[in-house]
Structure 1
Amino acid sequence: MRNSKITYRLVIFVIVFIFGVVFSLPSLLQLEKGAKINLGLDLQGGLYMLLGVDNQEAIKSKIKSIASSLHYSINKENILVDKVLTNDQSIEFNLLDASDASKIEDLLKEIQGLDVQKNHLSYTISFTPEEIKNIENFALLQAVETIRNRLDQFGLAEPTVAKQGEDKILVELAGIKTKEDELRAKERITKAAHLQLMEVDDSKMSQASSMSESEAQSYGLVILSDAKNEALKYTLKSIPILDGSMLTDAKVGFSDTSNYPVINFTLNAEGAKKFGDYTGANVGKRLAIVLDNKVYSAPSINERIGGGSGQISGNFTQEEARDVAVALRSGALLAPVKLLEQRSIGPSLGSDSIKMSMIALIGASVFIVVFMALYYGVAGIFADIALLVNVLMIIALMAMFGATLTLPGMAGLVLTVGMAVDANVIINERIRELLREGMSIKASVENGYKNAMSAIVDSNITSLITSIALYAYGTGAVKGFAVTLGIGIVISMITAILGTRGMFDYFMPSMQKNNQTKFWFGYRKK
């Protein structure tokens, strides 16, 4: 093989082979160092949850948010109203000066989706049916995004969070094995993290324990418990000064007066202005910091507070403070989520799945390797080497990008093994056809690749388009199948077209010298 030719195709193939070996070994041998493929829920066990969104709470939360903005604008424009009252579905108030009617109507026109009922100077504001549907849809999509953000910030590997049907959310967390991990994960997901700054009505505090909800509502109040002492009740103005939608950051710190962790939060420009205006106009009053309908503190306002920052203290542990800060930072849930279904998948089921998938993968690979070698001779062995490189590269790329391998992904890998040799089967058959026509070995190889190229490219591109469509529109399990299939298709183009051609080029002098077509291509030339 003194005259063997090393072409750029062979060099690229060798580089790809080395790359595949180096970056796939950590996953194959489960080494401590190096990037490894994450195993999905169905392969390593974990937690499966189906959640529902409380749409009524979403509407109630939106009503309060609009009431807060409207209340701020009314005060800013010096519009005289007797009292702004809210319930679960509407906002009510009476205008005291008829000349302010045009001002209030201009304010209401700026808010989309409102159904405004006017009776002389009395206003009742609710949502249109279309807006209620929009709020429900937004609450579901916002919950999906918020839960995904929270799980990403907690460092969980490739969690699956997806909308299912019209009003449900699917959550899959791989690697959750202990009861403690399971409880903490549920707390992270379901915590509403709804922050509100609310005015304390000290004139009614003495009646807080005896006042009914309906009575409190008639005064425009809400009664909430203290976070540390359930028996301690607060009477708060039902319309919040501002809420967590204006929060931009939340970080864990430590109190100046104790060693307990606290949560320092920062508001956006609109929130900072509202906060500053309110504290400046209400020095001496108390402002309650409310998180998920629990009062964490209710300090007196000593002076105007500018800068748009505040602090939540509540004897948190370090872990609790971190969880709350992440929940606040990733966004409050517009509506609470409730657990509809839960399943814990044990790692033993995952081990069985891996074992059966590996049997299928190894069985398919061995059958293909033996068939190709027996039927196509050395050309078949070249295809087998390309197949090996193809599998190593799939594993290497998935490990590098931190992809999650699921059971459908394993199925995609098994299918890729069959598809990887498909191109070489087409090429080898084209070469054998040309040999039957009397062409030389060199001419048959060159023209065989040229004639097979259009069929290979067409079939692989259509398969690639299919895998892209599956990834774009499929759920988590289908995405895993699409990823492995798509990567396998792209890599097979490199290994089949460049790799095997590079090997043919290298051994071409020997092929031409002994002219043993049966040995090289599994076909005896007549």
Structure 2
Amino acid sequence: MLDIPLWKRVTIWALCALGLWLALPNAFYTTVERHNDAVIAIEEGTVTPELQADVDAWPSYLPSGLVNLGLDLRGGVHLLAEVKLEDTYVARIDGMWTTVRDTLRTERAVIGGVRQLDAVPGVMKVRIANEDAMSRALELVRTLAQPVVTLAGVGETDLVVSGDGDVITITLSDAEKAAMDERTMTQTLEIVRNRVDEVGTREPTIQRQGSDRVLIQVPGLGSAEELKELLGTTAKLEFRPVVRRTTDGSAAPGPGNEILPSVDEPGTFYIVEKGAVVTGEELIDAQPTVDQNGGQAVSFRFNVAGARKFGDYTAENIGAPFAIVLDGEVISAPTIQSHIAGGSGIITGRFSIEETIRLSALLRAGALPAELIVVEERTIGPELGQDSIEAGRIACIVAFIAVLVFMVLSYGTFGMFANIALIINVGLIFGLLSLIGATLTLPGIAGIVLTIGMAVDANVLIFERIREELKAKRGPARAIELGYEKALSAIIDANITTFITALILYLMGSGPVKGFAITLGLGILTSVFTAIFVTRLVVVIWFERKRPKEIEV
């Protein structure tokens, strides 16, 4: 009656072995962590004897996935940054000048000449020569407006165009500003995440807070300055037409232009147009390289649209200077010698190797659409994290020992079987956490402690049912079989309700709540598996060997 097919026995033990195999690296956490860091560094081109020794310290045929430690366990940096959303409005309006000018010039015979006037940031004012053609000029400019698409559907257009005398005023509509805010926040979260990942940190917490703030928590960093420096750089790359070069930093640039300092030539300034021909948003790759003189440089490659615009502009402006602007500074202003087709090139300057690696990483991650202002920062030292780990470890050990002792005192030999399953259960939890790359926090440890207590619930139900069947004068084999059959529905119902609770916590919660929900949910899955399959298999193997006439639970 207690018959488990061979294929099922092999499958159960194979799953247990796989889980324990995946959990193995966590028993040698520091060694495996150094191994993983060294592998990444060597793949990026940095090879040293120390790195190679760290790689060799952990066999390549063993798994190397670890349970990542959260900020409260490992220490790290906590930043709350505000996104300057207004910057995107100004950049959007400034970038429209070339398009507006070219559109009005299509009917220059009617409208006359056009020129941009000085205006407050986020507003464009354009004067036309023929005031009588204002209605036609407004009609042409309004053709540039596009519908604002939101979740509610297509609403008003993105531009508000009005005329007063011979001056056209262009601003963004409120609907477009709201839509841009959402896009900017989404893009900022993604770019921040890409940048943090580029520098090799593990499992950062990056979340939106309110309408214009971003919460950034990065475990493993010892100083907030490193993270602030990385996030404070917008890495906004632009290719702009040069109006003229000057040594007077206070010179008036004129409407539609701005004056920017040169990086390579101290004391030299370039007056460039505000509207960029091509921007870093159209980059698809950037890599550190060397120029023809052996100096450090960064190579870049545009997408199809960027390559076309870059090629068209260079073909039409041979002999004219072209400014490469990074974060408001001219890092190079070469003269266009010929048509540059293919959409690729290099950025040269007085770069070190570290600077080219960092610049290429920032360009690959993308430019921040708006400036980030840090409004709150905290650094959690590793000592606090170590204290938290020790406290959590003690809690786990105490709970574990208490449960083991209770099961042995209450159920004797069968309690020993439940303890074997409990040990396997904890190993399976860490194996699954390592497999999915989860981050373990203090609430996560609480989830594991709770799981240890809950893990024996199913075995308690089963053993109590077996006791009842023995009292009903059932034989040992029949009592064990009926105990598992009759307890199964109660086990499944109890664990499904708890799993639903963990799922709701994961979906509705954030940060520490999610960490608790993940460990609790995984613990429920492994507990049910070990109680229904592992413990039963151990009991069956014991019964087949001993063949007892009577059993005592």
Structure 1 residue 333, shift from structure 2 partner:
0.6
Determine if contact 1:372/1:380 at 8 Å carries over to the other structure.
yes
Aligned 1:100-499 pairs, distance under 5 A: 102-109=139-146, 112-119=157-164, 122-177=167-222, 179=223, 182-202=224-244, 205-206=245-246, 208-211=248-251, 215-216=252-253, 218-257=254-293, 259-499=294-534
Which deviates further from its counterpart, 306-315 or 331-340?
Answer: 306-315
Q: Structure 2 vs 1, CA of residues 141 and 244 (structure 1 numbering), >3 Å: closer, same or farther? A: same
Determine if contact 2:100/2:141 at 8 Å carries over to the other structure.
no
Q: Deviations along 1:223-254, whole A, 9 cap, x unmatched?
A: 11112345221111122223222222211111
Q: Distance in 2 between matches of 1:153 and 1:131?
A: 32
The residue that corresponds to 2:154 in the other structure is none
Secondary structure of the structure 1 residue equivalent to 2:370 = coil
Structure 1 residue 149, shift from structure 2 partner:
1.0
Determine if contact 1:279/1:305 at 8 Å carries over to the other structure.
yes
Letter paired with 2:126: F
Q: Distance in 2 between matches of 1:89 and 1:100?
A: 20
Q: Deviations along 1:364-392, whole A, 9 cap, x unmatched?
A: 11111111111122222211111100101
Structure 1 residue 71, shift from structure 2 partner:
4.9
Secondary structure of the structure 2 residue equivalent to 1:285 = coil
Q: Distance in 1 between matches of 2:295 and 2:369?
A: 29
Letter paired with 2:249: S
* Structure 1: runs of 5+ lacking an equivalent: 522-526
Q: Deviations along 1:114-133, whole A, 9 cap, x unmatched?
A: 11113365321111222222
Q: Deviations along 1:266-301, whole A, 9 cap, x unmatched?
A: 222222222222222222221100000000011112
Secondary structure of the structure 2 residue equivalent to 1:201 = strand
Q: Structure 2 vs 1, CA of residues 265 and 183 (structure 1 numbering), >3 Å: closer, same or farther? A: same
Residue 74 of structure 2 is aligned to residue 44 of structure 1: yes
Secondary structure of the structure 2 residue equivalent to 1:304 = coil
Q: Structure 2 vs 1, CA of residues 67 and 438 (structure 1 numbering), >3 Å: closer, same or farther? A: farther
Which deviates further from its counterpart, 415-424 or 75-84?
Answer: 75-84
* Structure 2: runs of 5+ lacking an equivalent: 33-57, 149-156
Q: Structure 2 vs 1, CA of residues 272 and 19 (structure 1 numbering), >3 Å: closer, same or farther? A: closer
Which deviates further from its counterpart, 379-388 or 240-249?
Answer: 240-249
Q: Structure 2 vs 1, CA of residues 13 and 439 (structure 1 numbering), >3 Å: closer, same or farther? A: same
Determine if contact 1:5/1:506 at 8 Å carries over to the other structure.
no
Q: Deviations along 1:390-433, whole A, 9 cap, x unmatched?
A: 10111122223333222121111111111211111222222222
Structure 1 residue 87, shift from structure 2 partner:
4.7
Instruction: Return the TM-score normalized by structure 1.
Output: 0.89
Instruction: Return the TM-score normalized by structure 2.
Output: 0.85
Letter paired with 1:262: A
The residue that corresponds to 1:524 in the other structure is none
Structure 1 residue 100, shift from structure 2 partner:
5.8
Q: Distance in 1 between matches of 2:400 and 2:95?
A: 61
Letter paired with 1:147: V
Letter paired with 1:149: N
Secondary structure of the structure 2 residue equivalent to 1:514 = coil
Q: Distance in 2 between matches of 1:186 and 1:447?
A: 63
Determine if contact 2:209/2:215 at 8 Å carries over to the other structure.
yes
Letter paired with 1:104: V
Q: Distance in 1 between matches of 2:19 and 2:146?
A: 62
Structure 1 residue 143, shift from structure 2 partner:
1.0
Determine if contact 2:257/2:272 at 8 Å carries over to the other structure.
yes
Secondary structure of the structure 2 residue equivalent to 1:170 = strand
Which deviates further from its counterpart, 501-510 or 328-337?
Answer: 501-510
Q: Distance in 2 between matches of 1:467 and 1:41?
A: 22
Aligned length: 506
Higher relative contact order (CA 8 A, sep 6+): 1
Secondary structure of the structure 2 residue equivalent to 1:83 = strand
Structure 1 residue 96, shift from structure 2 partner:
5.0
Q: Structure 2 vs 1, CA of residues 307 and 357 (structure 1 numbering), >3 Å: closer, same or farther? A: same
Secondary structure of the structure 1 residue equivalent to 2:160 = strand
Q: Distance in 2 between matches of 1:417 and 1:489?
A: 10
Determine if contact 1:7/1:506 at 8 Å carries over to the other structure.
no
Q: Deviations along 1:55-88, whole A, 9 cap, x unmatched?
A: 2212222223444554566668989651245652
Determine if contact 1:9/1:501 at 8 Å carries over to the other structure.
no
Secondary structure of the structure 2 residue equivalent to 1:108 = coil
Q: Distance in 2 between matches of 1:8 and 1:157?
A: 40
Determine if contact 1:95/1:122 at 8 Å carries over to the other structure.
yes
Which deviates further from its counterpart, 275-284 or 313-322?
Answer: 275-284
The residue that corresponds to 1:62 in the other structure is 92
